[in-house]
Amino acid sequence: MTIQKIAILGAGQMGNGIAHVCALSGYDILLHDVSADRIDSGLATITGNMTRQISSGRITEEQRETALDHISPAVTLEEVGTADLIIESATENEDVKRKIFESIAPHLADHTYLATNTSSISITRLAAATDRPERFMGVHFMNPVPVMELVELVRGIATDDETFFAMRDLVERLGKQSSTAEDFPAFIVNRILVPMINEAIYTLYEGVGTVECIDQAMRLGANHRMGPLQLADFIGLDTCLSIMQVLHDGLADTKYRPCPLLVKYVEAGWLGRKTKRGFYDYTGETPVPTR
């Protein structure tokens, strides 16, 4: 079946990024969230990001206008159910995601594919909350979606070949590269990346180095484009903590224990860039370390 219309559930950082790249590739997009304000905010972000792409010469004004014409707000689940593919991009919480899939089930056409943008949660368990586990799989985009080239494709135990090939073709049409991962906690990228970030937080927690020294050491000593604490703020400390908890619970290995300092920051509501405070304070013109 040819995918023409895609519904994105969640208009936040990841959801609006997915809508952005899919619209530029010619898909009709339905953007849904829990409120009209969140949808409007997502649409505003897409417009701003596409304007920056024009400034950098990556797209033309005509491409932007055409892409924006492909995106429509979808306030109701009945509208969402008309899509050929639905990509869930809600917060990294299994209960939230399961409830979303359960709520849309009555509105789906028989042919509709379901996908989740989860960065760590079991695809098989999420698929079990739906009426079509064979047409369900993980399609994990990297952040920021318009810039990053990789998409992880993760099959659940019931995912059929037709679904896998359809999602692989989608990734190719978006001009991105796919990497196939088995359905183990955090898949490939985050199983390697987030424990490294957690170890950097332990390094800060134990007083081995300051925020600035740790980030500088990894930028200059390991040739990383962004220091691990700066990257944690960009990802969201709540997301980092959720992934570490999934790893710790799913693999039962103490090496995945979340650093107590990470837990403390999340409890304080210091979640990184999105709250203007994490390992850096973003309220001024230049980020300032908070420790």
Could you tell me if 154 and 27 lie in one domain? yes
Residue 126 within any structural domain of the chain:
yes
pLDDT in tens, 262-285: 999 999 999 999 999 999 999 999
The residues, ordered by sequence, that sit 6+ positions from 228 with a Cβ below 8 Å of its Cβ are 196, 197, 200, 214, 215, 218
Could you tell me if 168 and 276 lie in one domain? no
Residue 239, pLDDT above cutoff 90: yes
Could you tell me if 177 and 195 lie in one domain? no
Provide mean pLDDT across the span 122-132: 96
Nearest of 97, 188, 124, 202 to residue 151 by alpha carbon: 188
Could you tell me if 177 and 196 lie in one domain? no
Could you tell me if 86 and 167 lie in one domain? yes
pLDDT in tens, 34-87: 999 999 999 999 999 999 999 999 999 999 999 999 999 999 999 999 999 999
Residue 62 within any structural domain of the chain:
yes
Residue 140 within any structural domain of the chain:
yes
Q: Tell me the chain's radius of gyration from C-alpha atoms.
A: 19
Q: What does each C-alpha distance from 30 to 38, 72, 96, 111, 121 come to in angstroms? A: 13, 5, 20, 17, 24
Helix, strand, coil fractions of the chain, as percent rounded to 5: 50, 15, 35
Could you tell me if 177 and 262 lie in one domain? no
Residue 155, pLDDT above cutoff 90: yes
Q: Which pLDDT belongs to residue 130?
A: 96
Q: Which pLDDT belongs to residue 1?
A: 67
Domain that holds residue 210: 191-289
Q: Which pLDDT belongs to residue 153?
A: 98
Residue 129 within any structural domain of the chain:
yes
Q: Which pLDDT belongs to residue 121?
A: 95
Residue 234 within any structural domain of the chain:
yes
On average, the pLDDT of the chain sits at 96
pLDDT category at 215 given cuts 50, 70, 90 is: very high
Give the catalytic positions in this structure: 119, 140, 152, 190
**Percentage of the chain modeled with pLDDT above 90:** 99
Q: How many CB atoms lie within 10 A of CB 36?
A: 10
Strand partners, 87: 8, 115
Could you tell me if 213 and 118 lie in one domain? no
Provide mean pLDDT across the span 136-159: 97
**Total of domains in the chain:** 2
Nearest of 111, 112, 135, 110 to residue 123 by alpha carbon: 135
Q: How many CB atoms lie within 10 A of CB 167?
A: 24
Predicted structure pTM score: 0.91
CATH number of the domain at 282, please: 1.10.1040.10
For residues 84 and 106, what is the distance between their CA atoms, to the nearest angstrom? 15
CATH number of the domain at 51, please: 3.40.50.720
Residue type, 223: N
